[in-house]
Amino acid sequence: MKKKIEQIKEIINNLKKTDRGRALLFFFGYLIFFIFVFIFIQTSGRMHVSRSDYENGSSVNFNVEQIMNKNYSYDYMITIDVNDYEYVGSRKDDLELFKHKEKDYFRDYKNNKIYLKDNDKWVETKSPNDFDYFTNIDNIMELANAATYISKTDYESGKMTYTYDISTTTIEKIVNDVDIDLDDKPNELIFSSDEEGNVNNIKMNLDNYGKYKKYSKKYFTIELSYDDFGKVKNIINPIN
């Protein structure tokens, strides 16, 4: 190795002695410089995702059919800065029973009504969840189809996660049909599936959207966990 280095030094010294040699050294020096700059630009481009990159949208490639079938148990956790809001329940078709802050709720999707159990009586009320939009799988899939695919991770257990980026501009257009133009960092949608390929967890890291909407100062996360697909036998409508 040392001998080769000495040979290269000797060749360079010989080239320096002539005008043509110096011209060749100058040319190769610039060539190496431009190759280095090109590699640097390419690498930097991969590290930074511009807004146009994550506003293009892409087709999703995972299975949410089990959620679409509307028969499951769930645990929804909404985190706003340091506060957690949990909703635990079961759904079968258009009927749903859930708990929030130790209170029992019943939802009738067909009639778009929600009831709270108060002293053994069911009284009509509004949803205790201000972010119902983000728990509706149809709405989530609309966001996913407008988002840009970033990566897929496979685990030995068979579990897979799919990560997508979506801008606050895109979310606001879909959710509220409002046109804005923000050059912010993307929000993140993460879909996790079980070993059979069925999505059983959806995590939406919406920090930048939350700050724009003034829902949060720093953190705004919605995590939806599903279980017992097809195993919810019956939900009795307590209003009938």
Going from N- to C-terminal start, the domains of the chain cover: 2-47, 65-89+130-227
> What is the pLDDT at residue 181?
85
List, for residues 208-222, the tens digit of each pLDDT value.
999 999 999 999 999
> What is the pLDDT at residue 235?
93
List, for residues 43-99, the tens digit of each pLDDT value.
333 333 333 443 444 555 678 999 999 999 999 999 999 999 999 999 999 999 999
- Does the structure show a pLDDT above 70 at 159? yes
Which of the 8 DSSP states describes residue 135? G
* Beta strand segments in the chain, E: 71-80, 83-92, 95-100, 103-108, 113-118, 121-125, 148-154, 160-166, 187-193, 199-205, 220-227
Cα–Cα dist 50/184, whole Å? 9
pLDDT band, very low/low/confident/very high, at 4 (cuts 50, 70, 90): low
> What is the pLDDT at residue 97?
97
**What's the average model confidence in pLDDT over 23-39?**
64
Please report, for residues 5, 17, 36, the alpha-carbon distance to residue 24 in angstroms, rounded to integers and kept in the order given. 19, 12, 18
**What's the average model confidence in pLDDT over 217-229?**
97
| Cβ neighbours of 8 (radius 10 Å) | 10
> What is the pLDDT at residue 158?
83
- Does the structure show a pLDDT above 80 at 14? no
Please report how many Cα atoms fall inside a 13 Å half-sphere around the Cα of residue 12, on the Cβ side: 10
> What is the pLDDT at residue 46?
33
- Does the structure show a pLDDT above 60 at 185? yes
Which of the 8 DSSP states describes residue 217? S
Please report how many Cα atoms fall inside a 13 Å half-sphere around the Cα of residue 62, on the Cβ side: 32
> What is the pLDDT at residue 223?
98
**pTM across the whole model:** 0.74
Cα–Cα dist 97/173, whole Å? 31
224 vs 45, more confident: 224
Cα–Cα dist 27/10, whole Å? 18
